[in-house]
Structure 1
Amino acid sequence: MTKAQDYRAMTPDQLDDELVKLKKEQFNLRFQKATGQLENTARVRLIRRDIARVRTVATTKRGEAAAKA
């Protein structure tokens, strides 16, 4: 689990890359759950929350950039 502070230090492009990485991991976890191979079920929740954090920070950064322009 990464803190929101770490995400705030990233650029919007880095946030997009992080979001893609997290979405892939979420997909893999869902696939493991469907096949009965998922051992750490709490990881699904953590990934979902990290995705929300990344999206929130990205939206905030884009809003600030639009306000400056």
Structure 2
Amino acid sequence: MKTERFCEKSESELKKELVSLLKEQFSFRMQMGVREKTVRPHLCKRIRRSVARTKTFLREKRGRGGG
């Protein structure tokens, strides 16, 4: 997701996005543990970076008072 979209979202929307990403990340890790052939490792990297980006924007919004 582009960083401009993160700026537009509220804190509650970012929290929902974070939960969704963490669930997706967990699912990918389980698939890799079972060694399913349909797992694409580059998607795990992309999700991990999206989680970090979301957490960063959440921290910034909290620092500014939610605005």
TM norm structure 1: 0.89
> After superposition, where does 1:8-47 map in structure 2 within 5 Å?
8-37=7-36, 38-47=38-47
Q: Does 1:6 align with 2:5?
A: yes
Equivalent pairs, count:
66
> Unmatched 5+ residue regions in structure 1?
none
Single out whichever of 35-44 and 24-33 deviates more from structure 2.
35-44
Kindly report the root-mean-square deviation, in angstroms, between the aligned alpha carbons of the 2 structures. Answer: 1.5
What percentage of residue pairs aligned between the two structures are identical?
A: 32
Deviations 1:15-66 (A, max 9, x none): 0000000000000000000001143110000000000110001100110017
**3-state SS, counterpart of residue 65 of structure 1:** coil
Rounded to whole Å, the distance in 1 between the matches of 2:45 and 2:30 is 15
Q: In structure 1, what is the Cα distance between the partners aligned to 2:61 and 2:48? A: 20
